[in-house]
Structure 1
Amino acid sequence: MADATEHLGLGRVVVGVDGSPSASAALEWATAEAVLRGSGLWLVHATGNDALSRTEIDRSRRAGLELLDRTAETVAARHPELTVVKELSDGSPSDSLRSAASLSGTIVVGHRGRGGFSSLLLGSVGLEVTAGATTPVVVVRGAAERAESGAVLAAVRDENDLGCARAAAREAMLRRAPLRLLHVWGTAPYNGVQAALRNGSRESAEHLDVVPNVVERLHEEFPALKLQAEGEGSRSVPGALVEASRDADLLVCGGRRSPGYLGPTLGRITLSLVQHAHCPVELIPRYGPGHGSTS
């Protein structure tokens, strides 16, 4: 598996540990991902000690170390072959996770949290991590007992999403699962039957030209990949992607193309996905046209 990981260009898996149910779900997903990759699993607990007294800092650090030790022991008992690294940080949770991920790791967070990684209902730590991401971030969503399909879904907006599509292809290859590329575009408000049919036909032709170039590149780079590509128009782009996520184990999407709104990675559509998708969502950072076309 290590050789496969090297070929696919996948790095370490980094997950925040705080003892909450949401963090436990993130840990479970991150552990399974690290096993698939044959890479190390980094367990990070951040105490955020800036405003604490020395006594409180010592108590917080002891509790954090105990939590990391218990968590590492549990993971090792289930997966003795997995390399587990424990990291206790006095910094902020978001900075600690980004530091542990370094240049190529994948950060995994739960949708909600408590303690050192409090309130991962995007708006605090989860918002900071996803909005300012420089490496891939997975927000673990979906029902705990949800049946797995194995499928990976990639949201493709244009040819600049080739980097996102590559990341999704790697995840699909890792799982020996099919990849579904889905290009969704927003449709114009209803202006009468004839106008709607005329404009819909023109829009469909223009938008469906986006997908073949991405598909061709993926076929060249991942010849063994089972790939399905399709496009559809919708009055709600995020709504269509959320609905499509019902049949996926992982939804991969590119981050916001330009700065603004909630940060360089998180925009209106991606925020909707991490809040409402029915499966884990992986955000792939990108910064400007052409970024997605580099490996």
Structure 2
Amino acid sequence: MDLPVVVGVDGSEPSLRAVDWAADEAVLRGAPLRLVYASLWERYEGTLLATDLDKPSEQVRAEDIVDTAARRAHHRQPDVKVSTGVLPEEPEYALVRESRTASLLVTGTRGRSGLAETLLGSVSLIVAGHAQCPMVVVRGNHDAQAPTGTHGRVVVGVGEKPAGSAAVRFAYEEARRRGVPVDAVRAWRWPARESTDFPLLAGELTRLHEQQAVEVLEAAFQDAPADVVSHRRVVEGRTRTVLVDASRDADLLVIGAKRRPGHYGLQLGRVAHGVLHHSACPVVIVPERV
């Protein structure tokens, strides 16, 4: 059984952009598409019924939202298999649970204004810190259209422990589906505590840190598949700044997020948090088991 691509929908333009993107992705994967709306409407409405419909008014609205999203998905990709779900619970809990049986979880940025769309909604942020499958936050244009692949590359940020990295594997698989190369980026910095007044020593320390970054990239690519073109580069600077800059010329930005068994706090580091708020392209958060 193919695991679905699951999309959280709420009727907003960003969530409809996410539906477009997810419909395209489902076709690439040969997977079904599942559209989910979640809200605690039962708690607030009780037995209040909509006129002539014998349903709570919020339930009527929810069903209209998922029906609209389903029509949009079929318009975008007529052959995609679509199912829907209306769940009377907190959306963050519902989506994290859905992630346990999904191949990919997709949400949009929340907000209709230009300022709001530079920020990530609280639901997406919480889900990104707990999802059990790779999660995509679709950032895009302000014209109600999903971002399309115009740059022809998938960028992956390579972390400290690249061997067996789930994020790197995901980037390769996604690049293979799209027929584009992978651009692997490793940021590095010269720690301030190692500053020195001796230019020759400073130059040697700089080369040392850069070489360490190169070695990390080499380790990440030691099992690279032969059928995917890959490019590697090391960049001096803060990791989140380097990755946000790289996102401007990417169709997809992939980063890993550590998942510690038995830990129930928000498992999302500062780099992932910053990238999710400011990336110029869709971002994939891939769980990395530690």
TM-score (norm: length of structure 2) = 0.84
Counterpart of 1:95 in structure 2 is 93
Deviation at 1:64, TM superposition (A): 0.8
> Which 10-residue stretch deviates more, 105-114 or 267-276?
105-114
Residue of structure 1 aligned with 2:281, choices 273, 279, 285 = 279
Aligned ranges 1:34-183 → 2 under 5 Å: 34-49=26-41, 51-54=43-46, 55=48, 58-113=56-111, 121-122=119-120, 124-143=122-141, 148-157=150-159, 158-160=161-163, 162-183=165-186
Deviation at 1:49, TM superposition (A): 2.7
Deviation at 1:126, TM superposition (A): 1.2
Taking only the aligned residue pairs, the percentage that are identical comes to 30
In structure 2, give the amino acid aligned to 1:152.
V
TM-score (norm: length of structure 1) = 0.83
Deviation at 1:50, TM superposition (A): 5.4
Inter-CA distance 161–120: structure 2 relative to 1 (3 Å threshold): farther
Counterpart of 1:292 in structure 2 is none
Counterpart of 2:23 in structure 1 is 31
Deviation at 1:103, TM superposition (A): 3.4
Deviation at 1:89, TM superposition (A): 0.3
CA distance in 1, matches of 2:243, 2:73: 33
Q: Does 1:214 align with 2:214?
A: no
CA distance in 2, matches of 1:155, 1:241: 7
> Which 10-residue stretch deviates more, 72-81 or 33-42?
72-81
CA distance in 1, matches of 2:66, 2:162: 42
Question: Tell me, which stretches of 5 or more residues in structure 1 are unaligned?
Answer: 1-5, 289-295
Greater share of helix: 1
Preserved contact between residue 18 and residue 113 of structure 1 (Cα < 8 Å): no
Deviation at 1:11, TM superposition (A): 3.9
In structure 1, give the amino acid aligned to 2:222.
E
In structure 2, give the amino acid aligned to 1:203.
H
CA distance in 2, matches of 1:123, 1:262: 18
Preserved contact between residue 180 and residue 229 of structure 2 (Cα < 8 Å): yes
Residue of structure 2 aligned with 1:199, choices 201, 205, 208 = 205
RMSD, matched Cα: 2.7
Preserved contact between residue 6 and residue 35 of structure 2 (Cα < 8 Å): yes
In structure 1, give the amino acid aligned to 2:228.
L
Preserved contact between residue 109 and residue 121 of structure 2 (Cα < 8 Å): no
Deviation at 1:119, TM superposition (A): 9.4
Q: What per-residue deviation string (whole Å, max 9, x for no partner) do you get for residues 41-98 of structure 1?
A: 1100112235313217811111111221222123223422110011110011122223
Preserved contact between residue 172 and residue 179 of structure 1 (Cα < 8 Å): yes
Is the partner of 1:19 in helix, strand or coil? coil
Preserved contact between residue 156 and residue 167 of structure 2 (Cα < 8 Å): yes
Inter-CA distance 262–160: structure 2 relative to 1 (3 Å threshold): farther
Preserved contact between residue 20 and residue 76 of structure 2 (Cα < 8 Å): no
CA distance in 1, matches of 2:27, 2:36: 18
Preserved contact between residue 172 and residue 178 of structure 1 (Cα < 8 Å): yes
Preserved contact between residue 261 and residue 268 of structure 1 (Cα < 8 Å): no
Is the partner of 2:266 in helix, strand or coil? coil
Q: Which has the larger radius of gyration?
A: 2
Inter-CA distance 119–62: structure 2 relative to 1 (3 Å threshold): farther
Question: Tell me, which stretches of 5 or more residues in structure 2 are unaligned?
Answer: 50-54
Inter-CA distance 268–119: structure 2 relative to 1 (3 Å threshold): same
> Which 10-residue stretch deviates more, 165-174 or 188-197?
188-197
Is the partner of 2:222 in helix, strand or coil? helix
CA distance in 2, matches of 1:196, 1:261: 43
Is the partner of 2:101 in helix, strand or coil? coil
Deviation at 1:262, TM superposition (A): 6.5
Deviation at 1:160, TM superposition (A): 4.3
Q: What per-residue deviation string (whole Å, max 9, x for no partner) do you get for residues 204-257 of structure 1?
A: 222211122221212xxx2210111222222x1110111111110000000036
Is the partner of 2:288 in helix, strand or coil? coil
Deviation at 1:276, TM superposition (A): 0.7
Preserved contact between residue 109 and residue 119 of structure 2 (Cα < 8 Å): yes
